[in-house]
Structure 1
Amino acid sequence: MELNADFGVEVDEGRLSLVLESAGGRTAGADRPRNDQYVPVLRLLPERLRDREAALLSALVASARVSALSEDERTLVKGPLKLADVSDVEQLRLEITSAQGRVGLPPGARKEGNNRKRIRLRLDVPGYRLEDAAQLAADLAGRRREPVDQLAVSRELPTAKELLDALPGVAD
């Protein structure tokens, strides 16, 4: 099943960051609103990150409209939070979305704002370096992470046997 969700992984503040684009509105020629499956995706991505034993270092609103606010004013979740320790991903999702509604509103505003804003989740993901941002995005968009022996094949690295076979004087 493919979800209507636009996200990416980039490097920010010397960390890998998952950026989930906002929901709502229609783009020209689109059959449906932008990121209309924001909520299911915000459940799925932390689950996939939990499977990779990731830590959520912080979550903040990353929209252009509130970019002039301090990071503290845009923070939704302070970390670090080991996602492996999160038993209820839906509760985490609610914490992230419900906090968004007040970001950027004037003090004393009666009504909350949009809770499907563009957000940034700063991460620490074992096995992924800064230069692996595109790979992490691809892995999160797809299925579970491949077993370690399959990583060598998928990244076109030689296997241990191929390396041993290439050494002079080493025989089976």
Structure 2
Amino acid sequence: MIGLKIIIFLCVVMAMTNSIIGQNSTFIDEDCFQCLCEGATGCNSTAGCQSTYHGAEFCGPFHISWQYWLDAGSPSILDVTKPTFEDFKDCANDFSCAATIVRNYLQKLIISKKVDCNGDGEINCIDFALTHKLGGYNCHQKDDRPTKYYGRFYACWNNTGSEDYS
């Protein structure tokens, strides 16, 4: 009888744990990920690097900056001990490596800290889009500027069947 009670207790604990994990864990689904890429460059895998803001270079299909890459832990295509600017450019211009940069960045600055950038009570793709555009330290700033990024992002997001946020 004690063995049965222990089994029931463990099942209840596991069910509660799974429920809590499901409620508190946030991930970037593929629709969101695709829309972040669409917003950045139209998901142009040959975007290369561009000097746009105060001489900073933004590279690849996700239009990633050197600082964004550093904040994401400096992932690289090759296993390097001391990452260089060339490692940044190579990774940001490689779709798979760039995707790792974005996932790491959002995990570090939004998901793990449970940051709700737009104050709607949820951490979702809109928060990820604001973070990707404004940075993890500035995502709460109101940014109503009509930009290509937001236009492309919202057009993509609204086509996913998700809630219309435009």
Q: Considering the TM-score relative to the shorter chain, is it more than 0.5? A: no
* Greater share of strand: 1
Q: TM-score w.r.t. structure 2 length?
A: 0.28
* Greater share of helix: 2
Q: TM-score w.r.t. structure 1 length?
A: 0.27
